[in-house]
Amino acid sequence: MSDRPGLRERKKAKTRALIQKEALRLFRDHGYAATTVEQIAEAAEVAPSTVFRYFPRKEDLVLVDQFPLFLEALQAAPPELNPVQAMRAAMHGVLEMQTPEEFADSLERDRLLFTVPELWAASLENVTGLMGTLREHLAARERRAPEDPEIRNVTGAIVGVLVALVLDWVRNPDLDPRVEFDRAMAHLEAGLPLRDQAPG
């Protein structure tokens, strides 16, 4: 009896993942605007009402991501790490948990978010909320108030680096985001110095 809720939750997670997977495939093959919720439901072999139960809005099929898992990893980061170091550790933890298929789906979602106007507009509200949540978590780690200007600045710098990296990743899928993220966070932790470039 005690394991039934766990089984039920795993079944829900499997259904949710299948719906999103089929949605991403249809968006890629036919375009976001041309794909209907009914088509997604048919591909996932569920009712349209089931799609809406897991994803209340069509854009949620793309917007929903692994941020809750990331926050768990951030909270688990050793307390002696500064905010940038904690972000690096948390991101490594999340990326290492992803299967190659999940990693590819993540890239597909990011590409859609940054190339489909309707999704870009919808994601702005999402990004604002994520920034606020990240700011609160970083403030709690440092035992400071979220309104602290230094916490605001650190959060803004981290998010700015991440957005710039994702934009480059979407334009150039050959980039290894794991490597580039680590380099970007190391650069940020060093104070964003600009090295002299070789002539020519």
**Total number of domains constituting the chain:** 2
pLDDT of 5 reads 52
Q: Please check whether residue 200 lies inside any domain of the structure.
A: no
Please check the confidence at residue 43 and state whether its pLDDT lies above 90: yes
pLDDT of 199 reads 62
Q: Which of 38, 56, 74 is the last residue of a domain?
A: 56
Cα(189)–Cα(183) distance, rounded to whole angstroms?
A: 10
Q: Please check whether residue 198 lies inside any domain of the structure.
A: no
Please check the confidence at residue 3 and state whether its pLDDT lies above 60: no
Compute the mean pLDDT over every residue in the chain, rounded to the nearest whole number: 86
pLDDT of 94 reads 83
Residue span of the structural domain in which 38 resides: 1-56
pLDDT of 64 reads 63
Mean pLDDT along residues 132-146: 94
Whether residues 83 and 23 share a domain: the answer is: no
Q: Which of 29, 56, 83 is the last residue of a domain?
A: 56
Please check the confidence at residue 200 and state whether its pLDDT lies above 60: no
Mean pLDDT along residues 172-197: 86
* pLDDT band at residue 82 under the 50/70/90 scheme: very high
Q: Please check whether residue 165 lies inside any domain of the structure.
A: yes
Whether residues 38 and 73 share a domain: the answer is: no
pTM for the structure as a whole: 0.74
* pLDDT band at residue 170 under the 50/70/90 scheme: confident
Please check the confidence at residue 125 and state whether its pLDDT lies above 60: yes
pLDDT of 177 reads 78
Whether residues 86 and 150 share a domain: the answer is: yes
